Structure 1
């Protein structure tokens, strides 16, 4: 235990994983929602932009949201989750990872699936400058991997952190990479690659000695991007070394904070190693819910409230 049975059963169209993924990523909109930006400086001289939204409750609890690859705090899956959390007595701090807030970051490095030092910096900022007695974490895709890795690493977790939820998590980055390289995911891979190469070209303007035109031409697949840039910029030997060291799968047995993983069986981004059944069975604090449907960060729900947005409220309230 604890393997959690899933009750998610969407309308017919949304039982198709690709339709669910595309609808949530492109067509879904969140109305009547406002955020207030705060910039914090990081220990290495870089910065992060945090987008805050607030409840009308006197309760001093905050949820930190972490987006996925090439996402930001304005994406519907972040804004929708923040809005529901606000309506259920949680303030929300939505992180824009480095380069994702609309402004180039200062350093050659950027963000990646294992950069838990940035999440820790946000947590320490909140603990030192805000008045919250309870902190909750919710990460999506890359942000979910980052969240779980943070909780399972060899560190003292602040007592204020009460629970976490991770949605559509590539628990094995290599397994997920293999899936993304398959033809079924070509449209997604093309979209990700376009955005990443665009950022690489912008980065080249500031660091021409570190990124050559040949490097950029060599980026044919997402793995190539991790070989050419992610690994070099963040101290890994190559893409495979990055995947091995940053996959949260190896850290799951060490998690001592209640954490729920919600992954869909029809998520085309996730390979077999991304469903950690054995780890959940042997860790009483790790909950795994594998829904039959949902796609990748999809989970369509009525009244524009997704299943994962309802599920996180239930889980956070259960573990308090």
Structure 2
């Protein structure tokens, strides 16, 4: 990893400096979600049916979708897209493809020459919940099946993953679970919570953090109301309606569905910190020490230090998924940093190339359905193959973006 870092340092040459009039972590965290104008573009949607009958919306933005098209280069662009490295983006808690920061990530990375796919969590991105399970902070099976699906179609193309906030926790846990068998070439975790129990206690004990707790709890309630039929049947619906925090929601919803005895059991078992030692691919972790949602006390300095595959980069400022820089606050520093890391990584010898496709990808990949056929599908039409088992306008706008 040392040569990679030296190359990256030579290419970048400067540290993060926040926008002067947005030095507060709370302004950094909320400003972009209220006032940031997302780029305008259209995704290409793909629907993936997972092995347990769940539905995941994959929203693609290819490099050719945002590049200026030249006459007579249609086939050439298609060929280039087929050989372009892929970046999978895992959103944070109740974020999806239309969240402001996710759209900025997708557009910037595509402009920089990547094929980007946003892997929406179950029940988000405008798709229904089609199985008796919804995602949680430790649920990695959907990431695994998305990666398997993409690998089955593009076995020779470098594949990277970017996880944000809770999505970073899920991604890091997945990297550790799969270890040497991982099917991706590198990853980046931005504002990862690391220890969900510590973060739960942090956000529940402080007055200012209590605001974020209520907003995020409201976003989870909004998610549940979108899928009320399933939540009424599988969870403590009365408790969810009264929930005013993330912890309340997890107690009444996440624990019954995920079969966790207590909410603290869920936090302990779902935290990614315990899986860091088993990560075998290059991983860049970016965290702000003033993050108002994910406490710096949860940062796992020693674990990252002893794993030569991991770089933990911390900044004094940045907030939670903020990192706005420049006098006009139009740029997101962490997006550029991740792009530069993955670009250098892609041209290095650290990529773990897949010389042979795993046997389970050859048995029969998951069924991928066009979006228009989603409502028409029936269970007996779906072939799963032999796969492993597996957030008043202010408040509304904020909770829709987390």
Instruction: Report the CA distance between 1:319 and its aligned residue.
Output: 1.7
- Aligned residues of 1:277 and 1:288 also touching (Cα < 8 A): yes
Given candidates 310, 315, 320, the residue that maps to 2:341 is 315
Equivalent-residue separation in structure 2 for 1:226 and 1:207 (angstroms): 12
Instruction: Report the CA distance between 1:202 and its aligned residue.
Output: 4.2
- Aligned residues of 2:97 and 2:120 also touching (Cα < 8 A): yes
Which structure is larger by alpha-carbon Rg, 1 or 2?
2
SS of corresponding position for 1:50:
strand
Given candidates 278, 301, 304, the residue that maps to 2:325 is 301
Equivalent-residue separation in structure 2 for 1:154 and 1:65 (angstroms): 18
After the TM superposition, which residues 60-209 of structure 1 pair with which residues of structure 2 at under 5 Å, given as runs? 60-130=84-154, 133-159=157-183, 161-181=184-204, 182-206=206-230, 208-209=232-233
Instruction: Report the CA distance between 1:215 and its aligned residue.
Output: 2.3
- Aligned residues of 1:169 and 1:274 also touching (Cα < 8 A): no
Kindly indicate which of the two structures has a greater share of residues assigned to helix. Answer: 2
Structure-2 change in CA distance of 1:214 and 1:282 (3 Å): same
Instruction: Report the CA distance between 1:207 and its aligned residue.
Output: 5.0
In structure 2, what is the equivalent of residue 47 of structure 1?
55
**Paired residues, number:** 318
Structure-2 change in CA distance of 1:33 and 1:202 (3 Å): closer
In structure 1, what is the equivalent of residue 276 of structure 2?
252
TM, length-normalised to structure 2 = 0.74
Equivalent-residue separation in structure 2 for 1:317 and 1:208 (angstroms): 46
RMSD of Structure 2 on Structure 1 (CA): 2.1
Greater Cα offset, 104-113 or 287-296: 104-113
SS of corresponding position for 1:236:
coil
Structure-2 change in CA distance of 1:121 and 1:283 (3 Å): same
Equivalent-residue separation in structure 1 for 2:84 and 2:164 (angstroms): 24
SS of corresponding position for 1:101:
coil
- Aligned residues of 1:171 and 1:273 also touching (Cα < 8 A): no
Equivalent-residue separation in structure 2 for 1:198 and 1:260 (angstroms): 32
In structure 1, what is the equivalent of residue 266 of structure 2?
242
Structure 2, unaligned stretches of length 5 or more?
Answer: 65-76, 347-402
In structure 2, what is the equivalent of residue 8 of structure 1?
16
Structure 1, unaligned stretches of length 5 or more?
Answer: none
1:21 counterpart = 2:12? no
- Aligned residues of 1:178 and 1:271 also touching (Cα < 8 A): no
Structure-2 change in CA distance of 1:81 and 1:22 (3 Å): same
SS of corresponding position for 1:208:
helix
Given candidates 218, 240, 244, the residue that maps to 1:220 is 244
Instruction: Report the CA distance between 1:130 and its aligned residue.
Output: 4.0
